[in-house]
Amino acid sequence: MQPGELTAAPSAPAVERFTVGLALSRSWGVWLQNLPLFLGVAVLAHVPEFIVSCLRLGQPPTRLGQRVETLSTSFLAYVVTGLVTYSVLEQLRGLRPSARKSISMGLARFGPLVGTAIGTGLLTLLLFIALFFPGVYASIRWMLVSPIVVAENADDPRQRSSFLTEGHRGELFGMLALLWGGLVIVAVLLAVVLPDEDTVLGNAVILVPSAVFISFRAVLEGVTYSLLRSEKEGVDLEQLTAVFR
């Protein structure tokens, strides 16, 4: 190298800070860009629940049945998030992977994803049953386990999620509470329009807002994961998605 010659230093990745507004607005854009994929995966995930609800038409709900439904919904949310994580992260880079490619990348980690979903869902449900607020706290701490399973090789996804969500759990709670509030309002309005839920059509219609909620939440968790990785570790989207190439 000649005297006085300078070597350009590698540019540091642009660090983004997590905010609820940024997470929601970016998630909304990504969700709309590939709505058929996200909503389709969520609808398919609801098929087992729909079949079970149709089989028990005319039977009064039981406490055990309600808890099983709660667990199944929680489990489905984790799986759906994992299946669309690749698509969410790639779309944040400005790319539009095919639905087939997106699902195949999620299915490549399907075993660890299902295992983590079952374990996390059971632990959260037990905490909800024992004491409500610890269950809420755990669901916030562990909300990023699915993106972590798909995009990282972490030994303990729950511990990893706890690290990433630390310092923002109040904001994350408010963000998810806003989504849950919207779901409740839509479900109540549907119940008014369709008062007889004890039919096949009623069961199908009442699952629609849940599928929409789970699909958007899956995108939101992927976007939140990318923002928190950027804020806490300085990882940009190119680095974040390098694991898929």
**CA distance readout (Å), 29 to 158, 216, 236:** 28, 11, 19
Q: What is the number of domains present in the chain?
A: 1
Instruction: Give domain status of residue 14, yes or no.
Output: no
DSSP string, the chain: --TT---PPPPPPPP----HHHHHHHHHHHHHHTHHHHHHHHHHHTHHHHHHHHHTTTSPP-HHHHHHHHHHHHHHHHHHHHHHHHHHHHHHTT----HHHHHHHHHTTHHHHHHHHHHHHHHHHHHHHH-HHHHHHHHHHTTTHHHHHHH---S-HHHHHHHHHTT-HHHHHHHHHHHHHHHHHHHHHHHHHS---SSHHHHHHHHHHHHHHHHHHHHHHHHHHHHHHHHHH---HHHHGGGG-
pLDDT at res. 171: 96
pLDDT at res. 52: 73
Residue-level pLDDT, tens digit, the chain, 245 residues: 444 444 333 344 467 899 999 999 999 999 999 899 998 888 887 777 777 777 777 666 666 555 566 566 667 788 889 889 999 999 999 888 888 888 888 888 888 988 998 888 888 878 877 777 888 899 999 999 999 999 997 889 999 999 999 999 999 999 999 988 888 888 777 767 765 666 777 777 778 888 888 899 999 999 999 999 999 999 989 988 888 87
Amino acid (1-letter code) at residue 44: L
Instruction: Give domain status of residue 27, yes or no.
Output: yes
Instruction: Give domain status of residue 46, yes or no.
Output: yes
Instruction: Give domain status of residue 181, yes or no.
Output: yes
Instruction: Give domain status of residue 2, yes or no.
Output: no
Residue position matching structure tokens 């007889």: 196
Instruction: Give domain status of residue 7, yes or no.
Output: no
| Separation CA 156–CA 60 (nearest Å) | 40
Instruction: Give domain status of residue 167, yes or no.
Output: yes
pLDDT at res. 5: 41
pLDDT at res. 145: 94
Instruction: Give domain status of residue 228, yes or no.
Output: yes
| Separation CA 141–CA 212 (nearest Å) | 23
Residue-number span of the structural domain to which 214 is assigned: 20-50+58-244
Tokens of 234: 């300085």
pLDDT at res. 63: 61
